[in-house]
Amino acid sequence: MLATHDWKGLSAMDAVGVIFGGIFLLLSAHVFYVLVLHPLARFPGPARAAISPDWIMKRWTDGHFVFTIKELHDKYGPVVRIAANQLSFSTARSWKDIYGHTPGRKAFLKGTFYEPMPGEVRNLLSESDPASHSLMRRNLSHGFSATALKSQEDLIQKFVDLFILQINGRKNPGEGLRSVDAVKWFNFLTFDIIGELAFGDTFGSLKEGKPHFWIETVFGGVQAITFQRSFEYFPLLRTLFRNCYKYKILPSRLSEPRRKMVEYASNKIEKRLKTEPERIDFLSKMIATREENGTTFRQLQSQADMMVVAGSETTATCLSGITYYLSQNKKAYEALANEVRSTFGRYEDITARATEPLPYLQAVIEEGLRIYPPIPIGLPRISPGESVDGHWIPKGAVVSVSSWASTHSEHNFHRPFDFIPERWIGKDKASGDQLFASQAFSIGSRVCLGRNLAYMEMRIILSKIFWTYDFEIVDKSLDWVASNRSFVFWEKPEMQIVFHPRSQETEGVVD
Ligand code: HEM
């Protein structure tokens, strides 16, 4: 029948056969294209990842994404094709090539990964247009200047003192010691600080000793964002998902956390607009120049709400990681304790300025950022048609440096899984490590705006902890980092720590 092209005589089975045959041909053509003809076909990587987006989508959402990417780098080398149109890099040079600014080279810009959800406006983090980004950055930088940091120190010290008081293992004289979940308390501390600097109002978590709903919402939101971003690999699903979000036909657990955050941030901004804070805060200049720049209420809200997430979770994560590694590493613990205790005669002497020259403290922070980068994923950028690490990358390809893979590669760091602050100081600095491969704050025009604030917070917090307490982890056998799940941020398990007041003298300080 078929041979005579009498289509009317096709049986149902024949029709099914034709359909399946057609699908098979299309799939074969697709496989041939992505594995042989595609401009990224020459890069190594799992064939399955190039053929179908479900491979990377599954890994992106299963909580092991960054560990999987590192395994791929171990197997395939410093550049790996992780999706049809996407490459992951792991060398120091690729940091410079993708994120850095070199005269004469075209810039790798942010793409759809950063696009806000329908109905929301772009903020400093999500803006991809260089001119708009640069204008926003100029306005917001004012809140992060040296003068601003100086004016913010009192507030930071006030919250750190409350934190030091609250984590005390011996609440009442004569009582036994109790442990606290350090992960939770670092979150309370950094959210309270950033909340006040972004909205002019605190979340009150340190005082209450319990998470403000915003903190819980951020975590719900981060998982939802991770899920949403998985559609980046499947444009058809992406469009469908964004339309469902726009027309509010998604399961509420996916859209509600974000909507709640936006509503809460709006209320806070309304309040902030009616009050003049005592210090230069993140929005001071944007509010002062609001009329001349035509800044809308939604833009203010979006900047503030982004900064709370960008500035608190990251710093708390780094402090949790440092606490964990110090609790496992007696030599580093003692070196830091000695440095802090021999430098400061009194608790009140611990200021941002006075902690600046402490080399071991700085090295501990750098090593904490390396071994446990708060944003462990690769931050995607679109190739303008440029080379990276000596490879020509066609225009439109998505590239990133995996923070976790580059900081844990044996090609970049000796004993990459060991916490060795010494690699950042003195003679050990020349141990062959590619220190530039650790870029927790990123580099170039999109380098973290809050970097100096984060360093200042971490220096004060760690110094005050070490001056006041000795601490130990309750479960000595806990492999805490291995129990983390990686999304855009880490999902961290609890970490019970006992903070022993060092002496009657320091106990007096915290009571
Ligand atoms: C240890 C702490 C921190 C780490 C590791 C960190 C890391 C980063 C990274 C990797 C980026 C680049 C993101 C991208 O390109 O997609 C970034 C951007 C940013 N961070 Fe941080 N951050 C930290 C603390 C803070 C703090 C305290 C603030 C204060 C609000 C802050 C505010 C920002 C802002 C506003 C941006 C966007 C900058 C731009 O695109 O121009 N960060 N941060």
**Which atom number of ligand 1 is nearest to the Cα of residue 308?**
30
pLDDT of residue 240: 87
Decide if pLDDT at 36 tops 80.
Answer: yes
Output the CA torsion sign for 377, 313, 371, 96.
positive
Tens digits of residue pLDDT in 70-100:
999 999 999 999 999 999 999 999 999 999 9
- Cβ of 139 below 6 Å from ligand 1: no
pLDDT of residue 241: 83
Report the separation in Å between the CA atom of 215 and the middle of ligand 1, taken as the mean of its atom positions: 18
Report the separation in Å between the CA atom of 310 and the middle of ligand 1, taken as the mean of its atom positions: 5
- In which band, very low, low, confident or very high, does the pLDDT at 507 lie, cut at 50, 70 and 90? low
Decide if pLDDT at 435 tops 70.
Answer: yes
- In which band, very low, low, confident or very high, does the pLDDT at 249 lie, cut at 50, 70 and 90? confident
d(CA 385, CA 397): 8
d(CA 363, CA 147): 25
d(CA 383, CA 432): 30
Tens digits of residue pLDDT in 273-283:
888 878 888 88
Among 29-33, 197-201, 261-265, top mean pLDDT goes to 29-33
DSSP 170: -
Query: Phi, psi at residue 401, to the nearest 5°?
Result: -105, 125
How many CA atoms within 13 Å lie on the side-chain side of 319?
A: 31
Nearest CA to ligand 1 atom 24: 311
Decide if pLDDT at 214 tops 80.
Answer: no
pLDDT of residue 506: 57
pLDDT of residue 427: 66
CB 492 within 8 A of CB 484: yes
- Cβ of 125 below 6 Å from ligand 1: yes
Strand partners, 491: 485
Task: Give the mean model confidence (pLDDT) for residues 421-431.
Answer: 81
For residue 323, give the nearest of 193, 433, 185 by alpha carbon: 185
- Cβ of 442 below 6 Å from ligand 1: yes
Mutate to test the pocket of ligand 1, among 156, 407, 448 (most ligand atoms within 8 A of CB): 448
pTM comes to 0.92
Task: Give the mean model confidence (pLDDT) for residues 378-384.
Answer: 97
**How many CB atoms neighbour CB 502 within 10 A?**
17
Decide if pLDDT at 423 tops 50.
Answer: yes
How far the first Cα of the chain sits from its last, in Å, is 94
Among the residue ranges 247-256, 351-360, 459-468, 470-479, the one predicted with the least confidence is 247-256
Tens digits of residue pLDDT in 307-364:
988 999 999 999 999 999 999 999 999 999 999 999 999 999 999 999 999 999 999 9
**Which atom number of ligand 1 is nearest to the Cα of residue 99?**
15
Mutate to test the pocket of ligand 1, among 199, 229, 314 (most ligand atoms within 8 A of CB): 314
Domains of the chain: 38-509 (1.10.630.10)
pLDDT of residue 14: 84
- Cβ of 398 below 6 Å from ligand 1: no
Strand partners, 109: 382
Decide if pLDDT at 3 tops 50.
Answer: no
- In which band, very low, low, confident or very high, does the pLDDT at 259 lie, cut at 50, 70 and 90? confident
d(CA 191, CA 214): 9
Decide if pLDDT at 45 tops 50.
Answer: yes
Task: Give the mean model confidence (pLDDT) for residues 203-217.
Answer: 85
Query: Phi, psi at residue 176, to the nearest 5°?
Result: -70, 175
For residue 318, give the nearest of 454, 184, 201, 442 by alpha carbon: 454
- Cβ of 368 below 6 Å from ligand 1: no
**Which atom number of ligand 1 is nearest to the Cα of residue 303?**
35
Task: Give the mean model confidence (pLDDT) for residues 458-481.
Answer: 96
- Cβ of 307 below 6 Å from ligand 1: yes
pLDDT of residue 416: 97
Report the separation in Å between the CA atom of 447 and the middle of ligand 1, taken as the mean of its atom positions: 7
Decide if pLDDT at 5 tops 90.
Answer: no
How many CA atoms within 13 Å lie on the side-chain side of 115?
A: 13
Q: How would you classify residue 231: left for phi > 0, otherwise alpha for psi between -120 and 50, otherwise beta?
A: alpha
- Cβ of 446 below 6 Å from ligand 1: yes
* Sequence ranges of the binding site: 448
Strand duo 86-89 + 398-401: pairing: parallel
Task: Give the mean model confidence (pLDDT) for residues 195-211.
Answer: 89
pLDDT of residue 4: 47
Mean pLDDT of the chain: 90
DSSP 375: S
pLDDT of residue 334: 98
d(CA 167, CA 180): 6
- Cβ of 156 below 6 Å from ligand 1: no
Query: Phi, psi at residue 400, to the nearest 5°?
Result: -160, 165
Residue 336 burial class via C-beta count within 10 angstroms: exposed 0-12, middle 13-18, buried 19 and up: buried
* Sequence ranges of the binding site for heme: 448
pLDDT of residue 260: 79
Q: Tokens representing 291? A: 């009329």
For residue 193, give the nearest of 417, 17, 457 by alpha carbon: 457
pLDDT of residue 316: 97
pLDDT of residue 250: 74
pLDDT of residue 1: 43
pLDDT of residue 55: 92
Task: Give the mean model confidence (pLDDT) for residues 411-438.
Answer: 90
